[in-house]
């Protein structure tokens, strides 16, 4: 575990991307095979399940440290992290144990089937041999909470540096359904069987938001313009007579969208299409708002009524594999032509259409189209260079998203709650209200991001001095602070007292200049409903 703890410390102590990658690459060069596999798993969100409850762990730790439970609770409140609190209060650990990460994960997994006394004995035996920082990681493995601040993309880059394999290949290999308990370094990374996983999607190409004027991109004739639909980005993988639908978050959504099964009847095996899954309004032949799709995301299977109310359709953006060939390196214009041909062959009833291109002679025309995005149910535009390949992950230069400006509202903070992890000692989660017709404040949105740590620290001090009531971890505060919230959409919501629900609300500015009385009114938000 020492080696993994060293890696964790190196990653933790720098904010520099290149240093994180260098630390990981060093580790991937010479750590034991099975430890490397588990490290890949942990860094791609494949954590072992929780085997011990937080409550029991806290009790055992307090007993081991010889302190009463209330003092443990006070200590936990100060650190904000259970695994860390335990590591810090136990008597100093000896360290020097030479079992590696995978051995310890085996230990953790074995505890899952032990009885309570067995779990306690196993956990204490581990605490007795591990050094302080190794203990913290062990505790996080036990509670299923180990997160490492490195994106999968950086991990893949480090793996590429360590192995000499191409980053894009590795990204592809590491996608899909694999089990770190059974995978081997050789099988997973070095010599994967190309037929082993017919369901495997390609890494999604992502784009940055265009902040500069579009003229900065040069000649508009070099660019293809598409609508950026407001649904779920997905990849349909048709291979070997089977089909799979993947989300951008590498989640299999196949069972949730059975209507796409028919695509296998019309498209040949060896086809992979990137597109947007939308709830379709058949009468209007247009996408329904995102809210209509929402009930389909949360469930594993779909009731008939939902299939009828919110039938799914994919608007296709890009063709990644055709005739079993990976064509991602070909220019977008070529892929688009092939995609158009493939989709044109589909019967009208097929659950897939082409996402249309926006054509305009100049940037002014493209900007005018962007202004119509909301009316069409789109979030804005995508700009793709005709010559561009289908990249891996987020890249600058060839693809840009050019979203419409968000809606904004000035709202009053009415409740505050402490954040988690890094921000556990700060109040960061706020509930906001606007004025209703009767002159009262009606809560309508929660937001927890968008301010700096320094601002959160200042607000935390204010919250403590201006608390009017407490409900568990939530504090009601004097309705005095005004914040500008941005959001992407607004919907009717009978479930909320305000009657509305926002999409992606976040704080953009602390309006120190604005008294609460000048915050926005509910009717202003209602007026946006037609657009949102």
Which residues contribute to the site for other proteins (CB under 8 A)? Answer: 12-15, 65, 67-68, 70-71, 74-75, 77-81, 84-85, 88-89, 92, 418, 421-427, 453-454, 457, 460-461, 464
Shortest CB 95 distance to other proteins, Å: 12
| DSSP one-letter string for 193-250 | -TTS-TT--PPPEEEEE--S-GGGG--GGGEEEEEEESSEEEEEEEETTEEEEEETTS
Place of tokens 């904004």: 408
Is the CB of 90 or the CB of 217 nearer to other proteins?
A: 90
User: 524-529 long-range contacts, Cβ below 8 Å, gap at least 24?
Assistant: 524/409, 524/434, 525/409, 525/434, 525/444, 525/490, 525/498, 525/500, 526/499, 526/500, 528/407, 528/490, 529/490, 529/491, 529/492, 529/500
Is the CB of 22 or the CB of 114 nearer to other proteins?
A: 22
Is the CB of 399 or the CB of 427 nearer to other proteins?
A: 427
Is the CB of 251 or the CB of 453 nearer to other proteins?
A: 453
Shortest CB 419 distance to other proteins, Å: 9
Shortest CB 57 distance to other proteins, Å: 15
Shortest CB 423 distance to other proteins, Å: 8
Shortest CB 111 distance to other proteins, Å: 25
Both structure tokens of 87: 């590591």
Instruction: Give the integer Cα–Cα distance in Å for 242 and 199.
Output: 8
Shortest CB 7 distance to other proteins, Å: 16
Is the CB of 66 or the CB of 164 nearer to other proteins?
A: 66
288 by DSSP, 3-state: which? coil
What percent of the chain is helix, strand and coil (3-state, nearest 5)? 40, 25, 35
| DSSP one-letter string for 11-37 | HHT---HHHHHHHHHHHHHHS-HHHHH
Is the CB of 13 or the CB of 362 nearer to other proteins?
A: 13
Is the CB of 45 or the CB of 68 nearer to other proteins?
A: 68
Instruction: State which H helix or E strand residue 83 sits in.
Output: helix 82-89
| 472 DSSP assignment | T
Pairing mode, strands 205-209 and 393-403:
parallel
Give burial (CB, 10 Å; 0-12/13-18/19+) of 241: exposed
Instruction: Give the integer Cα–Cα distance in Å for 299 and 255.
Output: 9
Residues in the chain: 532
38 by DSSP, 3-state: which? helix
Is the CB of 386 or the CB of 446 nearer to other proteins?
A: 446
Shortest CB 468 distance to other proteins, Å: 16
353 by DSSP, 3-state: which? strand
Instruction: Give the integer Cα–Cα distance in Å for 379 and 373.
Output: 6
Shortest CB 120 distance to other proteins, Å: 20
Shortest CB 80 distance to other proteins, Å: 5
Shortest CB 427 distance to other proteins, Å: 7
Is the CB of 92 or the CB of 195 nearer to other proteins?
A: 92
Q: Which residues, including other chains, have CB under 8 Å from residue 347's CB and lie 6 or more apart?
A: 266
* 43, 155 contact by CB (below 8 A): yes
Instruction: State which H helix or E strand residue 275 sits in.
Output: strand 271-281
Residues facing 415 on adjacent strands: 431, 476
Shortest CB 148 distance to other proteins, Å: 13
Q: How far is CA 529 from CA 309, 369, 373, 410, 515, in A?
A: 21, 21, 15, 17, 26
Is the CB of 79 or the CB of 161 nearer to other proteins?
A: 79
Shortest CB 467 distance to other proteins, Å: 11
Is the CB of 66 or the CB of 494 nearer to other proteins?
A: 66
Is the CB of 21 or the CB of 263 nearer to other proteins?
A: 21
């Amino acid at each position: 575990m020492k080696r993994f703890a060293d890696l964790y410390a190196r990653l933790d102590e720098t904010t520099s991307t290149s240093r994180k990658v260098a630390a990981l690459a060093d580790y991937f060069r010479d750590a034991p095979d099975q430890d490397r596999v588990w490290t890949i798993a942990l860094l791609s969100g494949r954590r072992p399940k929780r085997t011990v409850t937080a409550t029991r762990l806290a009790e055992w730790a307090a007993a081991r440290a010889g302190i009463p439970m209330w003092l443990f609770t006070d200590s936990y409140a100060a650190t904000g992290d259970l695994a860390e609190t335990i590591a810090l209060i136990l008597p100093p650990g000896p360290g020097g144990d030479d079992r590696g990460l995978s051995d310890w994960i085996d230990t953790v997994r074995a505890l899952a089937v032990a009885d309570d006394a067995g779990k306690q004995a196993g956990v204490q035996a581990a605490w007795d041999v591990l050094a302080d920082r190794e203990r913290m990681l062990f505790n996080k493995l036990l509670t299923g909470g180990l997160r490492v601040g490195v994106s999968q993309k950086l991990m893949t880059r480090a793996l590429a540096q360590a192995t000499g394999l191409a980053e894009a290949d590795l990204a592809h290999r590491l996608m899909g359904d694999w089990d770190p308990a059974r995978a081997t370094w050789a099988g997973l990374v070095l010599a994967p069987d190309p037929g082993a996983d017919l369901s495997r999607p390609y890494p999604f190409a992502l784009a940055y938001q265009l902040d500069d004027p579009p003229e900065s991109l040069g000649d508009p004739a070099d660019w293809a313009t598409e609508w950026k639909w407001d649904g779920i980005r997905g990849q349909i993988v048709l291979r070997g007579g089977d089909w799979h639908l993947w989300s951008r978050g590498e989640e299999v959504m196949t069972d949730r969208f059975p209507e796409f099964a028919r695509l296998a009847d019309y498209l040949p095996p060896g086809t992979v299409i990137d597109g947007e899954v939308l709830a379709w309004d058949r009468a209007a032949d247009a996408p329904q708002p995102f809210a209509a799709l929402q009930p389909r995301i949360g469930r594993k299977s779909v009731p008939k009524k939902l299939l009828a109310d919110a039938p799914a359709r994919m608007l296709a953006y890009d063709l990644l594999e055709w005739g079993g060939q990976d064509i991602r390196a070909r220019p977008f214009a070529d892929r688009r032509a092939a995609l158009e041909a493939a989709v044109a062959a589909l019967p009208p009833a097929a659950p897939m259409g082409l996402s249309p291109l926006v054509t305009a002679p100049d940037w002014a025309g493209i900007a005018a189209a962007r202004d119509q995005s909301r009316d069409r149910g789109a979030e804005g535009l995508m700009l793709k260079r005709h010559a561009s390949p289908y990249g891996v992950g987020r890249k600058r230069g060839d693809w840009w998203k050019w979203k419409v400006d968000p809606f904004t509202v000035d709202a009053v903070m009415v409740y505050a709650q402490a954040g988690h992890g890094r921000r556990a000692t700060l109040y960061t989660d706020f509930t906001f209200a606007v004025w209703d017709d009767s002159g009262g404040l009606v809560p309508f949105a929660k937001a927890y991001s968008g301010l700096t740590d320094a601002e959160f620290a200042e607000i935390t001090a204010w919250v403590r001095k201006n608390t009017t009531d407490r409900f568990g971890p939530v504090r009601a505060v004097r309705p005095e602070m005004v914040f500008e919230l941005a959001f992407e959409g607004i919907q009717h919501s009978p479930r909320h007292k305000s009657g509305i629900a926002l999409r992606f609300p976040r704080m953009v500015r602390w309006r120190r200049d604005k008294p609460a009385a000048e915050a926005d009114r509910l009717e202003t938000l209602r007026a946006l409903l037609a657009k949102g």
